[in-house]
Structure 1
Amino acid sequence: MTQIKRVWLEIILFLCLMILFFSNAYSHIPAPIQLAALKMLLTNAGFLHAHVLRKLVWTEIVWDEPLKAKHYVAIAIYITFPVCYAFGG
């Protein structure tokens, strides 16, 4: 439950954007705002995917200890996934 408290804002934003995206209201929004909403949706999906993957692979990472490979991989996951999702791939 503490993990959901960490990402509750992203989950709510993701759900709101999914509702907007799959409703008829999306077609009535101007094109630049549609693009921004789609990029926010994809970036949020990438962040949530990265968070779930990181929690499944490493249940707990102690960030106070000296940096190891798992720290760098976790950082790379949190950067790479949202960027790849935002670029649409």
Structure 2
Amino acid sequence: MVRHIDLGGTAADRTRSLSSFIRKGEITLGGYKKAKIYGRLNCATGKRMKVEHRVFFRDEADAVSHGYRPCGHCMREKYKEWKTKQQGLEHS
């Protein structure tokens, strides 16, 4: 089940709310909803995405349960594992 987090109406409200959730450990990963990719919050690639395409997750299990895959840039080893599994499924 997706839990909606209201970050507020203004950009400043959203920034404060997001910072609070991160400090509390309620958000540990960010994602790109158009491509269904998740990664670390400090990922240089992730920081370039438009705000309206960003999503946030409590942890890796949360991201995976929503159908997201690891970022090939900031989560290289996890991405390689995911890619290997995908290639195995294609050849089954």
Higher strand share: 2
Higher helix share: 1
Asked which structure has the greater RCO (Cα within 8 Å, sep 6+), the reply is 1
Taking structure 2 as the reference length, the TM-score comes to 0.24
Larger Rg: 1
